[in-house]
């Protein structure tokens, strides 16, 4: 893993990242936590829609689609 943090929506399909921070309001953070996006959780980018928004992610055994507007608030350390 490298030390560079990037927004979740910047992961390439098939790339994994580890959640490091969430740059959002408290109510938005609560929603992300409820989806399993907790610091230290591994997330994999699975599929992009034809328009590129939303993107499907594999999080803690579930596939979840997030709009880029939301995914850009989740900062991950990417693994190549």
Q: Domain containing 49 — which CATH number?
A: 2.30.30.90
Given the DSSP bridges, would you call strands 55-59 and 5-7 parallel, antiparallel or unpaired? unpaired
Contact between residue 21 and residue 67 where contact means Cβ atoms under 8 Å apart: no
pTM score: 0.87
Q: What is the dihedral of CA 65, 60, 4, 9, to 10 degrees?
A: 0
* pLDDT (tens place) for every residue of the chain, 80 residues total: 446 899 999 999 999 999 999 999 999 999 999 999 999 999 999 999 998 899 999 999 999 999 999 999 999 998 75
Name the strand (E) or helix (H) holding 6.
strand 5-7
pLDDT at residue 52, as a whole number: 84
* pLDDT given for residue 78 in this prediction: 85
Q: For residue 56, what are the domain limits?
A: 5-79
In total, how many domains does the chain have? 1
């Amino acid at each position: 893993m490298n030390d560079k943090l990037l927004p979740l929506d910047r992961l390439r399909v098939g790339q994994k990242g580890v959640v490091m921070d969430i740059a959002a309001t408290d109510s938005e953070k609560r929603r992300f936590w409820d989806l399993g996006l907790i610091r230290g959780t591994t997330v994999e980018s699975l599929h992009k829609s034809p328009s590129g928004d939303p993107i499907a992610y594999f999080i803690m055994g579930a596939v979840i689609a997030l709009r880029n507007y939301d995914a850009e608030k989740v900062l991950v350390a990417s693994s190549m």
